[in-house]
Amino acid sequence: MADTASLIAPHGGGQLKSLYVSEASERAAIEKLLPELSSFVISSAAAGNAVMLGGGYFTPLDGYMNKADALSVARTMATADGLFWPTPVLNLVKDSSSLKVGERVALQDPNVESTPVLAVQLIEAIEEFSDAEMLEMAGLVYGTQDNEHPGVKEFLSQGNIAVSGPVQVLNYSYFETDFPSTFRTAVQIREEIAAMGWQRIVAFQTRNPMHRAHEELCRMAMERLDADGLVIHMLLGKLKPGDIPAPVREAAIGKMVEVYFPENSALITGYGFDMLYAGPREALLHAVFRQNMGATHFIIGRDHAGVGDYYEPFEAQEIFDKIPADALKIELFKADHTAYSKKLNKVVMMREAPDHSKDDFVLLSGTAVREMLGNGIAPPAEFSRPEVAEILMEHYRI
């Protein structure tokens, strides 16, 4: 096992806290107990939280938040005892009549056929949020109470009863089996980084295939920060309708790295979590778990984790200037919108090209690109690498 002691400290300053039960005798004891436990199917959001808790990404949390912590996080971006945290981590249910405080329960996975047990939870509290409190949390976390916002809609659909307490995670849902070459826990990424000998590490979040602009943005960040390596960190969980499925993104990004990045300069990894589309608050959460996985720097670009017109273009960067200076150890690389400059024959950050007009850039909307791909037309080489475009066209042909 690689020595990770020299890497950036996890959030909270202690050791990385993985809630996955890896010790054989402990697993055997839990599995022997399972038939005796009450069980229920949790929401996809709660399942994603369990996977992130299991993988160490949500260090130093030890389980699902109670009502006081969730409201405090929504209102102040800190738990009741003062730990910086940007979004509530909840196990919300609609009906708790079969549950009792003090009991251990088996949490069943809604995202795997036959709903196997994902984790075991000790119930420390069962508390109800009022409708007004649910709307307040939605407004603070998502910046809107509009039920047309996919994150708000999902949040308000889960129920308003918080089942809180520590968890012991038994597996990583479908992520480990469906994405064996990509899914990584924070523990595993730290070990891979340490084995590479990297000290300055840039993390790049993506829920989309990477086009030329994304590729060059990563390259710019690595050069300007004198980074040892890049961790491309793909979201593997649920997206909104119309987003490109994770296996296609995985293939496209893998091809891009294989052809256009130097050997051993980039790790392609993924994590098991559903997209919140919470814009600025989600950008902060992304920074927390990138610090936990060992990254020293994190690229935040235009409209990070946004959806529709709910957020200002650089709101996800600006929120980092509003949190306490010691809230996070990870540093930002603030990126502008990137595009291919016809004048300079390369991808640039648009704010760094003041002598350009809009016509000097190759600019394509996501809709236009999807239409081209759907019609079997490769986007211009300035926008997308041909090898990447071919994989995407194949997806749209199906």
The pTM score is 0.94
91 is catalytic: no
Closest CA to 283 of 332, 241, 238: 332
Q: Supply the pLDDT for residue 366.
A: 67
Catalytic residue among 208, 219, 264, 397: 208
Q: Supply the pLDDT for residue 398.
A: 65
Q: Which residues pair with 84 in a beta bridge?
A: 78
Confidence check: pLDDT of 239 > 80: no
DSSP 209: -
Helices (H), 82-211: 131-142, 150-157, 175-178, 186-196
Closest CA to 195 of 6, 330, 57, 1: 1
pLDDT in tens, 262-309: 999 999 999 999 999 999 999 999 999 999 999 999 999 988 999 999
pLDDT in tens, 351-384: 899 899 999 998 877 677 878 888 889 999 888 9
Domain span at 263:
181-397
Pair (273, 377) in one structural domain: yes
Pair (285, 386) in one structural domain: yes
Helix pair angle (67-76, 131-142), 10° resolution: 40
d(Cα 248, Cα 394) in Å, to the nearest integer?
Answer: 9
Domain for residue 325, yes or no? yes
pLDDT in tens, 212-223: 989 999 999 999
208 is catalytic: yes
Domain count within the chain = 2
Q: Supply the pLDDT for residue 237.
A: 87
d(Cα 306, Cα 309) in Å, to the nearest integer?
Answer: 8
What average pLDDT does the chain have? 94
Domain for residue 3, yes or no? no
Pair (212, 228) in one structural domain: yes
Pair (171, 188) in one structural domain: no
Q: Is beta strand 229-235 parallel, antiparallel or unpaired with respect to 201-206?
A: parallel
Pair (203, 285) in one structural domain: yes
Tell me the pLDDT band of 160, cut-offs 50, 70 and 90.
Answer: very high
Cβ pair 163, 96 in contact under 8 A: yes
Confidence check: pLDDT of 240 > 90: no
Confidence check: pLDDT of 1 > 70: no
Q: Which of 176, 199, 225 is the last residue of a domain?
A: 176
Percent residues over pLDDT 70 in the chain: 99
Percent residues over pLDDT 90 in the chain: 82
Catalytic residue among 27, 104, 200, 207: 207
